[in-house]
Amino acid sequence: MTATSPTQDAPSDARPRKRDTRRRRKLHLGVNITAIVFCVIWTFPVYWMVNTAFKSRPEVMTATPIFFSQHPTLANFIAAFKQSSFLLDLRNSVIVVSGAVVLSIVVGAFAAAALSRFHFRGRRTIMVLILAVQMLPGTALLIPTFLVFNSLNLLGTYFGLILAYVASVLPFSIWVMRGFFVAIPYEIEEAAMVDGAGTWRILRSILFPLVIPGVIATSIFAFITAWNEYLVAYTFMKDQSMYTLPIWLASFSNPQTGTDFGGQMAASVLFSLPVVVFFLLIQRKLVAGMSAGAVKG
Amino acid sequence: MSPSTVPVASGETMAAAESPRQPGAPRSGPKRKRNFAPLWLLSPAALVLLTITVAPIVLLVFLSLTNYDQKSLFTGEFAEVGLGQYSSIFTDPEFLRSLVRTVLFATALVAGSVAIGMGISQLLTRLGTVMRYVVTIVLIFAWAVPTVASSLVWDWLFQPGYGVVNWLLTQTHLFGDLTDVDWAQDPVLAYLAIWLLIVWQAVPFIGLTLNAAQTQVPEEYFEAARLDGASEWGIYWRVTIHFLKPTLLLVTILSVIWDFNVFNQIWLVSHGGPNNATATLGIWTYKTAFIGFHLGEGAAIAVVTTVLLMIFTAYYIRNLVRSGEEL
Amino acid sequence: MRTTRFTVIGAVSTAAVLALSACAGNATNSTGAKGTIGTPAGAGKTITVWAMRGDLGPDTLNAINTQFTKETGAKVDLQVQASWEGITTKVTTALATSNPPDVFDLGNTQIPSYAANGGLLDLTPYKKELQQGNTWLTGLELPATVDGKLYGVPTFAGDRAVIYNKKIWAAAGVTKVPTTYQALIADLDKIKAANTASDFSAFYYPGQYWYAGMQWVWDAGGDIATLNNGKWTSGLSSEKAQQGLNDFKTFQNTYSSVASRTVDIHKPEHTQMFADGKTAAILGIPTEISTIKKANPKLTDADLGTFPFPGKSGKTQPVMIGGSDWGIAAKSQNKELALAWTKIAASPDIQNNYVFAKDGWIPNSVEYVKAAQATGLSPLITGFFAAALTSKSTPAAANWSTIEGDLSINQLFSSIASGTKSPADAAKAFDSHADSVLNGN
């Protein structure tokens, strides 16, 4: 690891001074050690989750923890798969999460465009209100939202749950995407207007493509929020065939039938995996989008 | 429902959006004719927010003026009590205690996660390609583990008798035998464990966001500072922080909002115990509204919490909105 | 701008009022006239039943449903809830909707609040028919009775007895089941001396296990709270209760591991500790025997034994009767069918051949308990039936569930076990909290 640092330095120092180089090398060693320590600490909980998930039953609870399983097993995963209806709940989660992601992007992008590319009275007030809405403790809104949904007949439907999640991520999405719209120079738009393009065409073919990184950011936020949420899903969905994965995960801490840490960790791994995959996939695009944005900025 | 439960993704891009602003760049406003575009662009969001967010908020405020409870849910009977709920909150000694706990703990959370996030952001700029990639992946892993799962993992890491953290700390021989310590049952340790959990998940978002902004700082500024003979620290404070300010402001405000309302992690780790030591306003709201089902009182606590949070952040939000307008 | 803003808010609050009143419905109870359940025709109809996983087994529920469909022609949509976190919120909101599930499986400590607040159908007119000539267990009937009206049909009961590992006991030289407190202590001392592993417990007794802790208080003659002239008075500070709490502390600290002082029975799972051989005994419920055997298939019926916990008083310690009742939603759209379903669930066939024989629970009526004892119980079940003879339950107050929900009673016992509070201080804090909660402040 440390071998990479000197080569990194070389180009920036046109005339290397000996003393300075030595100091910098020492600094680089320190930087790399810090990075490694950080990685060890930050990975440890994830490692311990995975490690426990693969342990055979007697290895889970031991007076001296076992850091590498001598008898790795898939038994915990198989048991987790069998518990309730993993595949059905996964399907429901996918429906609800993708619905929430798509809807929050579309609705959010429109609103963000209006709040950034147009001047109208009350714009600033709307912005502040959008941020203020975020300050309400989420749990407090559960019952009022339930009452509203009940009177709108939205309880027990995928659409209702999707709407609930869209509403909770929308303020944030609008803020984020607005930031991207704001960064686009007006000259581009003006040039298009001179060419006779209408508002809709400018939005569709010029502005929207430029805010793709914002779209990705919004999708990450909506994805995690919807993927994670437990209490609203549990109270709003009547039929257990429409339950989402967090409810499946919570069933591993059932005080009547008991639970074991191995099974719980295996379930946690299964639950986290799609998010990790989604993040890793989108991360590349995110970085690419960011650097593209930087060039234009 | 609660965005506060998620150490949210995305800031990276906000950074990309905020940072290109250069000092003294000309301000240009849209010189479009008055048209109805903003109206139809805003209407879908307005529809969703009015029905699914604003209506429940109005209802919440209304509930806070009533004695709405479980019976009201079943039978529809309730009475308006005016500001009765509010006066009972303000006279409850638990209110002040919860408020103090909330403010102190949120401060510790924001300070910890922003400071470590800044450190990571700076660290990333100093690393070689390989290490940079490794650290980024590690951050993404910590970020991507959902709160529900990470809270279960935390319980297991800190389990009395079998928790690996207890074992590791005992092995260091620094703190004595910690094998059987129950973190959730000691006020200080309970806070520490929850703090670690929240900071662990918040740092990736903050670190990556700040780093994205930091990479946008033009190299010339560093060179100039170096020629002036400034130390590394001096450069960091004078150049980097100056350019990071808008992003830092945004990240801090979001952290304040989320950490002030943090509920899931506290509930799942300590249930607000021992003896209410970790019962913040969020825990108090939940206990009132969902264990006793005193929904009217719970609503009033939520309203008070929100108003306090608005007051605490008003100045910074004004700055934030202004800096947004300048762009 | 200004005017539009106000119109918007006006419109929204109208919606809010509508939302509130939409839930109101009419929850009038069919009181007065004596009703009959009979066998309503239900062809083409479906009723929804919410059960909890870990209560009645799938075979039992299927048997009820099959019988129900045979009699009425109606179908059953069975929903078995597996997640307990937030279950009261889920049940409460479900009972508030205009088309709620029809039948609910409700814990006997949870049902008072649903009943007292008007969420459940008044079953008083049908009580005779539902009882089917039997006498229900008090611990199940009392919590479902509010102001003399019945809101639930007892489902099953469970209590706690000592489950012990015969191998470990025999290895320590103990072969006779202790019947007195002194004998139990002497036996546990031998077991403790024979097993020296740091995380071994002679008797695993988690500090937050308040059901176990209360047995000491009851044995000493104390109680959680008593009702006098409509007012609840908490009693853990009484001299007798204090004696019980002190004895609990001594026992817990002597025979259970240090790590167990602050934990609940589920983290780590106490049956798991037992199955792993980390303890020689636990205080468990009947169904935990099969949980133990599943966790460690090497343990068979021959290795396990049960007996009621002998009290210091000379009698066996009174046990907490747990269990559940079937409640019918006050707003149910299929009340007749729901009644017919619960009647079948309480019938002799289901209670004797399924609830008792298949699931291993204590059936809901005194007569069934006697019948079961007469047929000869398996040695593993006897301990539980013997323990059930002296049973107690939690205060039948509408707000009792708050005390369980906010975990203040867990806190009481764990702070005593861990020594962070003296029994007197812990009881004082709990009593003042319970007084205010139970009396509805």
Q: Domain map of chain B by residue range?
A: 104-282
Residue with tokens 């083409």: C44
Domain final residue pick, A24, A53, A76? A76
Phi/psi for B72 (5° steps) reads: -60, -40
Give CA–CA dist B121/B210, Å, rounded. 6
Instruction: Give the three-class secondary structure for C171.
Output: helix
Same domain, yes or no, for A129 and A222? Answer: yes
Same domain, yes or no, for A127 and A35? Answer: no
Same domain, yes or no, for A70 and A97? Answer: no
CB atoms closer than 10 angstroms to residue A159? 11
Same domain, yes or no, for C199 and C109? Answer: no
Residue A128 forms contact with C (CB below 8 Å): no
Report residue C268 CA to chain centroid gap: 20
Residue C106 pairs in a beta bridge with C325
Instruction: Give the three-class secondary structure for C233.
Output: strand
Is there a domain that residue C327 lies in? yes
Note the pLDDT of residue C3. 36
How many helices (H) and strands (E) chain B has is answered by: 16, 0
Same domain, yes or no, for A117 and A238? Answer: yes
B149, two tokens: 């799962």
pLDDT higher for A255 or A273?
A273
CB A114 within 8 A of CB B42: yes
Same domain, yes or no, for C184 and C290? Answer: yes
Mean pLDDT estimate for chain B: 84
The dihedral region occupied by A153, where left means phi > 0, alpha psi between -120 and 50, and beta the remainder, is: left
Contacts of C263 in chain B (CB under 8 A): 160, 182
Q: What is the CATH number of the domain that holds C413?
A: 3.40.190.10
C422, two tokens: 């003296």
pLDDT at A65 over 60: yes
Contacts of C101 in chain A (CB under 8 A): 238
CB atoms closer than 10 angstroms to residue B167? 16
Give the pLDDT band of residue C217 (cuts 50, 70, 90): very high
Same domain, yes or no, for C81 and C142? Answer: yes
CB B171 within 8 A of CB B191: no
Of A61, A147, A247, the CB nearest to C23: A147
How much of chain C, in percent, has pLDDT values that exceed 90? 65
Residue C78 pairs in a beta bridge with C49
CB C311 within 8 A of CB C317: yes
For C79-120, the pLDDT digits (tens) are 999 888 889 999 999 999 999 999 999 998 889 999 999 999
pLDDT at B312 over 80: yes
Same domain, yes or no, for A38 and A144? Answer: no
A38, two tokens: 């950080």
Is there a domain that residue C9 lies in? no
Tell me the ipTM for this assembly: 0.83
pLDDT at B3 over 80: no
CB atoms closer than 10 angstroms to residue A91? 15
Tell me how far CA of residue B149 lies from CA of A114, A229, B195, C43, in angstroms: 38, 11, 16, 45
Is there a domain that residue C18 lies in? no
Range among A53-57, A277-281, C3-7, C293-297 with highest mean pLDDT value:
A53-57
Same domain, yes or no, for A11 and A81? Answer: no
Residue A87 pairs in a beta bridge with none
Same domain, yes or no, for A244 and A151? Answer: yes
Range among B43-47, B145-149, C424-428 with highest mean pLDDT value:
C424-428
Are B55 and C8 a contacting pair at CB < 8 A? Answer: no
Enumerate residues 6+ apart whose C-beta is below 8 A from C204: C256, C257, C260, C270, C273, C274, C278, C279, C281, C282
Mean pLDDT over residues A81-87, rounded? Answer: 81
Is there a domain that residue C175 lies in? yes
Give CA–CA dist B164/A225, Å, rounded. 29
Same domain, yes or no, for A186 and A277? Answer: yes
Same domain, yes or no, for C198 and C104? Answer: no
- The domain defined by B104-282 folds into MetI-like fold (1.10.3720)
Same domain, yes or no, for C229 and C287? Answer: yes
Instruction: Give the three-class secondary structure for C409.
Output: helix
Contacts of A261 in chain B (CB under 8 A): 156, 159, 162
Range of the domain at C135: 42-158+322-391
Give CA–CA dist A103/A99, Å, rounded. 6
For C243-282, the pLDDT digits (tens) are 999 999 999 999 999 999 999 888 788 998 899 899 999 9
CB A24 within 8 A of CB B232: no
> Into how many domains does chain C fold?
2
Note the pLDDT of residue A166. 93
Note the pLDDT of residue B2. 37
For A141-189, the pLDDT digits (tens) are 899 999 999 999 999 999 999 999 998 889 888 887 887 787 778 888 8
Range of the domain at A274: 77-296
Same domain, yes or no, for A114 and A213? Answer: yes
Report residue C94 CA to chain centroid gap: 21
Residue C426 forms contact with B (CB below 8 Å): no
Same domain, yes or no, for A257 and A125? Answer: yes
Q: Identify the DSSP state of C355.
A: I
Residue C252 forms contact with B (CB below 8 Å): no
Are A150 and C96 a contacting pair at CB < 8 A? Answer: yes
Interface test with C, best of B64, B67, B75, B183 (most C CBs within 10 A): B75
Q: Are strands C391-392 and C319-320 parallel, antiparallel or unpaired?
A: parallel
Q: Are strands C322-328 and C153-158 parallel, antiparallel or unpaired?
A: antiparallel
For B201-258, the pLDDT digits (tens) are 999 988 888 888 788 778 888 888 888 888 888 888 888 888 888 788 888 988 998 8
Nearest residue of C to residue B155 by CA position? C267
Distance between start and end Cα atoms, chain C: 45
Mean pLDDT over residues B299-320, rounded? Answer: 88
CB atoms closer than 10 angstroms to residue A88? 16
Same domain, yes or no, for A178 and A39? Answer: no
Are A231 and C86 a contacting pair at CB < 8 A? Answer: yes
For A3-15, the pLDDT digits (tens) are 333 334 444 444 4
Give the pLDDT band of residue A210 (cuts 50, 70, 90): confident
The burial class, CB within 10 Å (0-12 / 13-18 / 19+), for C385 is buried
Is there a domain that residue C20 lies in? no
Same domain, yes or no, for C182 and C269? Answer: yes
Note the pLDDT of residue C193. 95
Same domain, yes or no, for C185 and C277? Answer: yes
| pTM, entire model | 0.86
- Read out DSSP for chain A? -TTHHHHHHTTT-SS--HHHHHHHHHHHHHHHHHHHHHHHHHHHHHHHHHHHHTS-HHHHS-SS--SS-SS--SHHHHHHHHTTTHHHHHHHHHHHHHHHHHHHHHHHHHHHHHHHH---TTHHHHHHHHHHHTTS-GGGGHHHHHHHHHHTT-TT-HHHHHHHHHHHHHHHHHHHHHHHHHHS-HHHHHHHHHTT--HHHHIIIIIHHHTHHHHHHHHHHHHHHHHH--HHHHHH--SGGG--HHHHHHGGG-TTT---HHHHHHHHHHHHHHHHHHHHHHHHHHHHHHHHHHHH-
Domain final residue pick, A38, A57, A76? A76
Nearest one of C322, C112, C311 to C222, comparing CA atoms: C311
- Interface partners of chain B (CB pairs < 8 Å, 3 or more) are A, C
Contacts 24+ apart (CB under 8 A), B252-255: B252/B110, B252/B114, B252/B316, B253/A131, B253/B313, B253/B316, B253/B317, B253/B320, B254/B8, B254/B11, B255/B109, B255/B110, B255/B113, B255/B114, B255/B202, B255/B206
Same domain, yes or no, for A217 and A238? Answer: yes
> Into how many domains does chain A fold?
2
How much of chain B, in percent, has pLDDT values that exceed 70? 88
Contacts of A262 in chain C (CB under 8 A): none
pLDDT at A46 over 50: yes
For B64-120, the pLDDT digits (tens) are 999 999 999 999 899 999 999 999 999 999 899 999 999 999 999 999 999 999 999
Q: What is the CATH number of the domain that holds A123?
A: 1.10.3720.10
Identity of the amino acid at C97: T
Q: Identify the DSSP state of C390.
A: S
Note the pLDDT of residue A285. 64
CB B268 within 8 A of CB B155: yes
Give the pLDDT band of residue C441 (cuts 50, 70, 90): low
Give CA–CA dist C220/C213, Å, rounded. 11
pLDDT higher for A22 or A125?
A125
pLDDT at C353 over 50: yes
CB C369 within 8 A of CB C363: yes
Domain final residue pick, A28, A59, A76? A76
For B263-274, the pLDDT digits (tens) are 989 988 888 878
